[in-house]
Amino acid sequence: MKKKKCIYSPGTYFVHRMNIFLFLLCFCGVAFAQINIKQKEGKFSDIIKAIKSQSDYQFFYEDKIGDIKVGALDLTNASVKEILDKILVGKGVTYKVEDKIIYLSSGTINNAVKTTQQITRTVRGSVKDESGEPLIGVTVSVKGTTIGTLTDISGNYVIKAHDGDEIEFSYISYTPIKTVVKGDMTYNVVMKEDNVALNEVVITALGIKREAKVLTYNVQEVKGGELTVVKDANFINSLAGKVAGMQINQSASGIGGSARVVMRGAKSIMGNNNALYVVDGVPLYDIRGEQPENIFESPDGGDRDAFANINPEDIESLSVLSGPAAAALYGNQGANGVILITTKKGEKGLKINYANNSIFLNPFVMPEFQDTYGSRDQSFQSWGSKKTSEMASYDPKDFFQTGYVETNSLTASFGGETNTTYVSLATTNSRGIIPNNKLNRYNLTVRNTADIIKDKLEFDFSISYINEDNRNMMTQGQYHNPLLPIYLFPRGDDIANYKIYETFNEVRNFKVQNWPSKYGNQGLGIENPYWTVNRKLFENERDRYILYSTLKYKASSWLNLTGRVRMDNMENTFERKIYASSDLLFASETGNYMNQRMSDKQLYMDFMATVDKRFGDLSLTGALGTSYFHYDQRINSYEGHLGLVPNRFSQENINKNDPQTKVNQSGFRDNTEAVFATAQLGWKSLVFLDLTARNDWTSTLKGTNSTGVFYPSVGVSGIISDMFDMSKAQISFLKLRFSYSEVGNPPPRFITKTSYELNDGNLKTESAMPFSNLKPERTKAYEFGTNMKFWGNRINLDVTYYNTDTYNQLFHFEAAPSSIYSDYYLNAGKVNNWGIEASLGYNDNIGAVSYSTNLNFTLNRNKIKTLIPKGTLDPITGTPIQAEDGIDVSSTGTYRMTLTEGGTLGDIYVSTLEKDSKGNIKVDPSTGAINSDPNNWVKAGSVAPRFNFGWNNTISYKGFDLNFLVDARIGGVGVSATQALLDRYGVSKASAKARDNGGVLVNGKPMDAEAYYAVAAGGTTGVLSEYVYSMTNVRLREASLSYTFPTKWFNHKISALSVSLIGRNLWMIYNKAPFDPELTASTGTYFQGLDYFMQPSLRNIGFGVKVQF
């Protein structure tokens, strides 16, 4: 007999019971979820919004149900069931709960169930790519709800939805797919790679937009938002560690100071090696001013970096053209790479943004001090016996205050189809860690873009105003530096006695410096540190006005005509006030005053025609144009010791009869005219040929045989992944590229022909011999590289190899004493740089977590191929020039930077102790003394790093975003004259340790520490070979944790609100130097790798808020 099938098998029975359990669980969730509602009379939809904001439930209902009027409601800790039951009484509405979804329906519960059964559907299927491989982790969601799921390891998914709902399939680097639910259904999806990701548009030279995939050179882009996560008073510092091939050194002058930016190594021996900055296609003149070249220079003129005061909130994107090929269209300015800044425009509609960053500053890396041994009586040095408990304790760190930088930015964008406006207002208010150091900056920008003739004629106009004032932007060095007395102050003495830095002198009838004569200036210009920061003032104020306009005419579908004008005027006022009773090295008995007014005016104009046209399989894009650049600088200054009235700082009170009184009225004008052309020919969007040409006529070549300088470039690229099917290798994009270019560096002005100086009413011939045969410095460069994307564009790899030769180097020599000239110039030499830039990125979604990481790598090798060829004659005397032993380009005491053939542009040479043939230190057998060797200079190494790494990460999860950047500099050396002087004065931790150990080991035997350091130490006059340090360092440079609030919390009245915790220089993971190797005293080429009482680098910790309406 045939057996009947059991209606309930054990498995079916279990599933049935589980369904009942889940139903009850959902019901209990509704019954017990705790909700607080305080609602005035209104609509039922308002109650639904309140429930959704406090729970995970979603609602399905008809619009007419949401419009039902409900009375006032005030409930605390109520369940959803209690709320619904209370409201729906007598309304003719029933509800049903299913999988965290509450279905509302008119009529009886049976009708509600019936309706729910009709509209609730199960959709299932699989998601694969075009090659048939399953895609794991694809987001499958019901549009307009929080209902969603992810595909499993086999690419399968199951989701419940409503008839008529729209289901979305999204996956990073793939084109999203949508479908509409029509009953229970199986929907299998094949997702295609998103070509938009491959067709990324970037800004290139002259502001021309190009598809990244067709470029024949390397371009790296940084979005404006990356510059505003962890802000710096100089936004350029925010690029550190984020771009391959770029080395950034922050100035040691403190908040808002200049930055040194070098790409692909230093190339010019005498010229500029900093990158060119371009804003909206217009190059900016480098007006950083004179950079310190020794330890005795004061910060006269202020830190005038014009790039530092751009408001980062105005930046839309930033492109880095690290190679000459990419920058060839900038001719004699393009040798050192280009930073292209594109600013924001207005958009259709209304958008208002407010951003605040509040950051607190403290010293990051400092020397190690001792407070164990005191000083001897009447001595400033700390070589006394161990301190007793009655003696004052001392920590130099107590001198520093907590600094801060507070930035506020308010931007508004509004407009319609044909006219948009962008307005921004920003303030930066800050104080440094050194007392009485401050910086305030105010930015205002208004930009309007209008279609005068729709889709035909566009006019873009902007005006910007910047006001900045700063006080006491400190440079490293010996004079006007409070850190010398703070670091060297004798242990055991009480510095609190001198915090009142001035006292009234009845004889002189004014307040004078409070500093005991027993301390004196130690031959170092040392004064009371609190007097230095309050009565030796360096104040700078700047007003800057920028006007920019563009007129663009679309002549046809393939031809555009564009004209641009940019005026940039800056007025700078610098004052130096040194009060009476300062050291007589710096001021008279009544004080010293300097006032300098500097005017910088830039005018740039260009006109170009751009073409974008196809001819069958061929495509042509290009531009033809001309440009004019004019720069005008005027300086009016006076300085001198004060006369009769102490501390009255005015021109009238300067002693005119003092020989040190100086009056200066000077200036210059530079002009550059150019024509340029660029063309790219493409074939089937597979192979591209790039050609550029530019000819410059510059005023600095006036008086030479040059009638203009021509700069060409050529490049070719091929998209291999479009030529061959590489899907099986998981390669979605592969491009190979090669380029060759020639660019230049403008020569200094006034050296090509005789010039005259008007001085004391008389004409004075300039002392340099006219160099009429000057040839402009030229860089020839080639590079080849690849750009690759793998695994559905999740992984990207960019690698570039480059090689550059810079020749026609300019050398400056002193003439023989018998000559009518004091100096002369000549062309010679060649410098080579080669290296590798690489960037490896990965981004993916892992469930609700989005992860993006990028690792960049930089290697550069610099080498001086030739200096002055043997037999080169002095053009004045006709005798051979002796340069076999090298050329000194920077020196202070026993520190030198010297150029030699086979060496680098960053080689440091230092003095050493006398040693025998076996390398042992010579010790006098009778006295036990050691001696320095003034005739022997040894190479310490090069300041240039061997490698640089940057590792940038972003992790996002349900509104939380974690960003952190770790970067590393590997190799290079630096010298710390600070540590040498700390040892000499017995205030370093090392000097205390040496005393504890019975002395310093010399040839394996202990030598009295004070006697040893008296010779080996001593700041810049000591034996600096004992104070050479590796500049290798690894740090957590940036970190931020932010949270973006759901807009529904604010009833969508706020478009976005985020708060963040931010930090910079949070952790020095590895560093053996007693200073921060990334700081620099000068943004020039030389005076690098020397620490002499530099201001410490800064650790920044703070918070930020961003709101969008």
pLDDT in tens, 347-377: 888 999 999 999 999 999 999 999 999 999 8
Q: Please check the confidence at residue 844 and state whether its pLDDT lies above 60.
A: yes
* pLDDT tens sequence across 851-878: 999 999 999 999 999 999 888 888 888 8
pLDDT recorded at residue 195: 54
Q: Please check the confidence at residue 1012 and state whether its pLDDT lies above 90.
A: yes
3-state secondary structure of 895: strand
Q: How many CB atoms are closer than 10 A to CB 666?
A: 11
Task: Give CB contacts under 8 A, 24+ apart, made by 552-557.
Answer: 552/457, 552/458, 552/459, 552/460, 553/456, 553/457, 553/458, 554/455, 554/456, 554/457, 554/458
Which has more pLDDT, 330 or 990?
990
Q: Does domain 120-192 have CATH number 1.20.950.20?
A: no
* pLDDT tens sequence across 477-498: 889 999 999 999 999 999 999 9
**How far apart (Å, rounded) are the C-alpha atoms in residues 38 and 50?**
9
* pLDDT tens sequence across 571-623: 999 999 999 999 998 999 999 999 999 999 999 999 999 999 988 889 999 99
pLDDT > 90: what percent of the chain?
Answer: 52
Which residue(s) pair with 642 in the sheet? 654
Band of the pLDDT at 415, cuts 50, 70, 90? very high
- Report yes or no: 175 and 197 within 8 Å, Cβ to Cβ: no
**How far apart (Å, rounded) are the C-alpha atoms in residues 507 and 1054?**
67
pLDDT > 70: what percent of the chain?
Answer: 92
Q: Please check the confidence at residue 31 and state whether its pLDDT lies above 70.
A: no
Which has more pLDDT, 687 or 727?
687
* pLDDT tens sequence across 526-535: 999 999 999 9
Q: Please check the confidence at residue 318 and state whether its pLDDT lies above 80.
A: yes
pLDDT recorded at residue 701: 85
* pLDDT tens sequence across 741-790: 998 887 788 887 766 666 666 666 667 787 878 888 999 999 999 999 98
* pLDDT tens sequence across 1029-1059: 999 999 999 999 999 988 778 877 788 899 9
Spans of all domains in the chain: 10-107, 120-192
- Report yes or no: 882 and 899 within 8 Å, Cβ to Cβ: no
**How far apart (Å, rounded) are the C-alpha atoms in residues 242 and 567?**
31
The model's pTM: 0.81
Q: Please check the confidence at residue 17 and state whether its pLDDT lies above 60.
A: no
End-to-end alpha carbon distance in the chain = 78
**How far apart (Å, rounded) are the C-alpha atoms in residues 40 and 422?**
39
**How far apart (Å, rounded) are the C-alpha atoms in residues 357 and 406?**
6
> DSSP assignment, residue 729?
G
Band of the pLDDT at 116, cuts 50, 70, 90? very low
708-728 average pLDDT score? 90
Which has more pLDDT, 752 or 830?
830
* pLDDT tens sequence across 693-713: 999 999 888 888 877 899 999
* pLDDT tens sequence across 677-689: 999 999 988 999 9
- Report yes or no: 116 and 101 within 8 Å, Cβ to Cβ: no
3-state secondary structure of 180: strand
CA-only gyration radius of the chain, Å: 35
pLDDT recorded at residue 170: 81
E strands in 516-558: 536-554
pLDDT recorded at residue 405: 95
* pLDDT tens sequence across 888-915: 988 888 899 999 999 999 999 999 999 9
**How far apart (Å, rounded) are the C-alpha atoms in residues 1080 and 1091?**
8
Which residue(s) pair with 789 in the sheet? 733, 796
Band of the pLDDT at 29, cuts 50, 70, 90? very low
Contacts of 76 (CB under 8 A, 6+ apart): 36
Cα separation values, 820 from 704, 753, 769, 878, Å:
21, 15, 9, 14
E strands in 684-724: 687-698, 709-719
Which residue(s) pair with 664 in the sheet? 637
Cα separation values, 386 from 389, 391, 485, 602, Å:
10, 10, 21, 62
Q: Please check the confidence at residue 9 and state whether its pLDDT lies above 70.
A: no
Q: Is 99 exposed, middle or buried (0-12, 13-18, 19+ CB in 10 A)?
A: exposed
Least confident piece of the model among 302-311, 683-692, 728-737, 815-824: 302-311
* pLDDT tens sequence across 47-98: 888 887 777 777 777 777 878 888 888 787 778 877 887 788 777 787 777 6
What is the chain's length? Answer: 1109
186-192 average pLDDT score? 86
pLDDT recorded at residue 898: 94
Which CATH number applies to 10-107?
A: 3.55.50.30
- Report yes or no: 326 and 246 within 8 Å, Cβ to Cβ: no
The tokens describing 185, both together, are: 């259904």
Q: Which amino acid is at 900?
A: T
Band of the pLDDT at 99, cuts 50, 70, 90? low
pLDDT recorded at residue 299: 64
Q: Please check the confidence at residue 441 and state whether its pLDDT lies above 80.
A: yes
